[in-house]
Amino acid sequence: MAKDKRSKAPGPPPPTPRPATVAPSWPAFKPPLPVIDLTVESLVQDKVVVLRSFFPRSLCRDYVSFLRDLPLTTTPGKPKRGDAVRVNDRFQIDDARFADRLWSETGLKEVLLNGRELAHLWGGQIVGLNPNIRVYRYRPGQFFDAHYDDSNNVSIKTETGEQSPARTTWTLLLYLTSPADGCIGGETVFYPHDRRTPKEAIAVSLESGMLLLHKHGHDCMLHEGREVTGGEKWVIRTDLCVKR
Ligand SMILES: O=C(O)CCC(=O)C(=O)O
Ligand SMILES: [Fe+2]
């Protein structure tokens, strides 16, 4: 797929149904996070990193049972021209408070900001996570077709309470289920050379509680969420934001 004809990750959600406006009462991070010394492991140099056991299994289970009760909507199978085919059930909310909790009450902030050898990766000075929180559920037969994720301009509340201009630079995916919970398939697959061929596929297997970050925007690798063939894949998606 040529870069100039690339299919984009979906932009704003379709006009109906509308994104939720009332923030969910997300479960507490219990036990307190992080549960292990988080480490940033590189899977594809300068493009994909993972932090394993970001959520413990028990917290993943708490989240999945909580998320089940949210008003998820099935995305249309027929996307607008230029948008990726994405077939899953999803919930979306602008929730700056939860984005901030994920950033500053989990150990993520410390591990990313203190890792001096990582500083060059993020595309600027990290200021937090995108308040646009997305929850995906994939059931058997559902998938996210190959696409690129865009960088977006957003506004983030700083520690002093002011809104500050920011830009998303990396996609954040937090996997809540895996084969250990009966989820078969659903790997996130990257194609470093923009060719969706089995030979060039770098497949990241699901691991409950693992957080994955991948570079997006101009340098985004073509990627997809493989079809789920058994059980359910649950993911929380947001983005890493830098100062603009
Ligand atoms: O669910 C996945 O594995 C991929 C999700 C994705 O690519 C996205 O949210 O843009
Ligand atoms: Fe994506």
Q: Residue 196 maps to which CATH number?
A: 2.60.120.620
In a domain, residue 207? The reply is: yes
The C-alpha angle 146, 147, 150, rounded to 5 degrees, equals 160
Least confident of 4-13, 16-25, 129-138: 4-13
In a domain, residue 155? The reply is: yes
Pick the closest to residue 238 from 106, 130, 161 (CA basis): 130
At 240 the pLDDT is 98
In a domain, residue 159? The reply is: yes
In a domain, residue 17? The reply is: no
Into how many domains does the chain fold?
1
In a domain, residue 26? The reply is: no
In a domain, residue 2? The reply is: no
CA–centroid distance, 149 to ligand 2, in Å, is 5
In a domain, residue 113? The reply is: yes
In a domain, residue 217? The reply is: yes
CA distances from 150 to 8, 23, 28, 98, 136 (A): 7, 25, 31, 22, 18
**Residue of 86, 135, 136, 221 to mutate, ligand 1, most atoms within 8 A of C-beta:** 136
Instruction: For residue 131, give its domain range.
Output: 40-74+86-243
Which tens digits make up the pLDDT trace of 142-176? Answer: 999 999 999 999 999 877 888 999 999 999 999 99
Within 10 angstroms of residue 92's Cβ, the number of other Cβ atoms is 19
Amino acid identity at 169: T
Tokens of 127: 């200021």
Q: Which ligand is nearest to the CA of 220?
A: 2
Residue owning the nearest CA to atom 4 of ligand 1: 225
pLDDT tier, 77 (very low <50, low <70, confident <90, very high otherwise): low
